[in-house]
Structure 1
Amino acid sequence: MAQRLIRMREVTHRVGLQKTAIYRRIQRGEFPRPIKVGRASGWIEIEVEQWISATIAANRAFAQ
């Protein structure tokens, strides 16, 4: 699978969190860190998808 960078707009859309919530989680080590590409930042798509999957799994385990 080819790696792809996604920008903040797509990240917020996928995870359902606002920018400030995402940056707070990054500071606490709870969300993947972006990488710099020139002056812009982007997230590695697979890392965001893995975070989503882990969050769902943790939620499901907690609910049982």
Structure 2
Amino acid sequence: MNNLIKLPGVKSMTGLSKSSIYTMMRKGLFPKSIVIADRAVAWIEAEIQEWIENKVSSSRRG
């Protein structure tokens, strides 16, 4: 089952600001949010975790 997290949780997990998240989403560099209700979006937690793991892996390579 996919857990959904709202923007404050995404910011906390990644250390990114709201504007950085949305800029990176537009550029295809960050997982896209999904609409969960009128004027409400969330992210799939597993996708955010995977993005973080990829960032860690790429920074360790070198």
Determine if the TM-score, normalized by the shorter chain, exceeds 0.5: yes
Instruction: State yes or no: 1:30 paired with 2:61.
Output: no
Return the letter of the residue paired with 2:24.
R
Confirm or deny that 1:19 pairs with 2:18: yes
Question: 3-state SS of the aligned residue for 2:35?
Answer: strand
How far does residue 5 in structure 1 lie from its aligned partner after superposition? 0.4
Percent of pairs with identical residues:
33
Structural RMSD (CA):
0.6
Structure-2-length-normalised TM-score = 0.95
State the number of aligned residues: 61
Normalised by the size of structure 1, how large is the TM-score? 0.92
- What are structure 1's unaligned runs of at least 5 residues? none
Distance across 2 between alignment mates of 1:38 and 1:10:
18
Aligned counterpart, 1:43: 43
Distance 2:56 2:21 in 1: 16
Cα deviation for residue 38 of structure 1 reads 1.1
Match of 2:53 in 1: 53
Unpaired runs of 5+ residues, structure 2, are none
